[in-house]
Structures are given as C-alpha cells and as structure tokens.
Amino acid sequence: GNPSAKPLAMNDGPQGFNVYTDPGLAGTSTQFPSLLTVAASFSPETSRRYAAAIVEEFVGKGSNVLLGPDLEVNRVANTGRSFESLSGEDPFLGAELVRPFVQEVQGKGIIATIKHWLDNNQEIRRMTMNVEVGDRAQHEIYMAPFKAAIDAGAGAVMCSYNKVYGTHSCENPKLLKELLRKDAGFRGFVMSDWGATHDAVKAATSGLDVEMPGSSGMFMQLPELVGQGAVDQATIDTMAGHVLTSMYFSGHFDGRFPGAVPSAVSRADVTTDAHRDVARQTILDGAVLLKNEGATLPLATAGKKIAMIGQYCNTDQYFAPDHVTAGNVGTPFMGQGSGYVPSTRTVTP
C-alpha cells in the first residue's frame, strides 16, 4: 500500500471533536456552540472561522474524517435536531455557509461528511417515518445545501434513518444513485448512520458504500453474498472505488493530513484560548436582531438590572426527553447526541 495513506479515523462531530465515549477525555476538546448559532450569524466568515478551529482540533486528535456538518433544512423550529443544522430554515443560507465550512475541512486533508441524506426533518419516529417530497421541492429546498457542499468538495455523505418515497434512505436507489450521484454529481462515498442499514443486498446494490455500527454487521455478509451471486463483485469494486476516490481527492495519498492517526482516541488536550475565543465570538455573531424596532438596542443599562429567565440560565447540562434520544446528556449551548462535546470549562449565563 501507499505509505502516505493513513487509516480512516472517523469522529463526531459537526460541532467539535466529540469525546463523549470516554468521560475521562471531557475538556480535551472545545465545546463550540451549535451549528444553528452559526446559521443565525448569516456570516460565511463565521462559518469558515468556526470550521477552521474545529479542524485544528481534529488534526491534534488524529481524526481525518469529520462526521459533519448537518445540512437538513428545518421545516419545524422545534424538531429534535434543529440545533445541529447549518441551514436553519433556508436552503440558500445553508448553501452559502457550507461552502467555506467544507473548504476548511477538506483543505486540511480531512473528509467532510455531509448529513443526513435526505429529508431527515424530525426525530420522533425517525427510524420508521416515511417522507414524500415533490421533485421541485426536493431539488430547490432540501437538496440545495447538499449540492453546494458537494460542489465545495465534500468527500462523504451519511444517509439518514427515515424512509423517503417508501424506502429506507440507506437502501434507496432514487436517493443514492439518481438524486445524489446523477443529479448532484457526488463522486465520494456514502456511509450509513448508526443502525440505518436494514438489508445488506438492497443497501449494497442501491448505493451504500460503508456500513457504520449498530446494524448487526450486515456488510460482514458481503463475501458470502458475492459467493452466492446475490451481489456482483463489480458492485463491491465500485463501493471500494468510491472510498478510494474520496481518499485520493482529500489528499490521503499525498500527506495532506498533517496529523498522526493513533490506534485509539488521542488523550491530548487540543483546546486553546484562540479556539475558545472563536466559540465565544460565534455566540456573539449568532445573536442577531432582525429588526431594531423602537431602538431596542443598544440597551440602556445604567442604573438598571437585567433579569435572565429560565432553567438554562444557570445550568450547563441538558437532559433530552426519552422520545428524542433516551439517556443522552447535552448542553443548552450545543444540544446533545453526536453533536455534543463534553467540557469542564462551560460558563453559564
């Protein structure tokens, strides 16, 4: 093999290097604010700066595949993962913000994984629900941020849990072959979300390249399925080719990724004052008043007290209700799940 090529070291996530699998690593990476905060900034430069800081920490931790950013266009403000969306409610906004984000990630030899393809717009019944979308709305609204990310060089796509047009996303030839590869021009590799693979034959022949954990190792059946003739060897070659294409495009054979890839998650502390400044500035940039009616800002604070209302004014933890993702701890600043980065430095309002 090529001595410059390193193993693929994938890590969440879209809002910072997630070390939640090892409580002892809390605080060794920066807890950045949510991607929705970046969206609220309406600033491509804020998106670029945010991504650049995260990329530096991924390099320091030795991870060359970033599982993000999330690009779903939010249809309902209180959908379960709206905090993770760089698009917010606007496909044009998402397209403008994802370009500098992806360019920063890919420029350091890290494969950006845009997710979740496609129409993943709510958490409740996300494993079983079916989404029906007309072709025009699909292309102009829901695909638009993904298309911009692909044009910017994103090397991987993660398919979603939900069904679209009656078929699970990760075994959906219309989504993975027609819309993604033919219409959007994607040439990298497609990975499943955790537990999103339901049938090895259907997934492999419909355009899934990499199965992630949680589906009982369905792709472990592929050698046997090839021997039985259920899956062509040419299909396996194409799947491998998509992964190698992304690695080549991302500079994995040319030494573009400057970090070392350890056999386990690095225990190095990769936070810096500069990265914390980026996190703080992103929060400030995301506090946008669209209309300053009645000269609401700036506040005249002399001789006055400002009340802060609500339970999250003085806590750094958010506990998700069971119908979202049971048991996952998060923070009101960035949500929970794959987008959560545990920290020992959180400061409440």
Q: Looking at 12, 119, 193, 209, which residue is catalytic?
A: 193
Q: Which token pair is 186?
A: 């994607």
Those residues with Cβ within 8 angstroms of residue 221's Cβ, 6 or more apart along the chain or in another chain:
200
Instruction: State the number of CA atoms in the 13 A half-sphere of 132 facing the CB.
Output: 1
Residue 281's DSSP bridge partners are none
Residue whose token pair is 């693929």: 8
Whole-angstrom distance, CA of residue 222 vs CA of residue 6: 24
What is the Rg, in whole angstroms, of the alpha carbon atoms belonging to the chain? 20
Catalytic status, residue 193: yes
132-154 exposure pattern, b = at least 16 Cβ within 10 A, e = fewer: ebeeeebbebbbbbbbbbbebbb
Whole-angstrom distance, CA of residue 140 vs CA of residue 138: 6
Q: What phi and psi values does residue 113 have, to the nearest 5 degrees?
A: -110, 100
Q: Which token pair is 153?
A: 């060089």
327: left (phi over 0), alpha (psi -120 to 50) or beta: left
Catalytic residues: 193
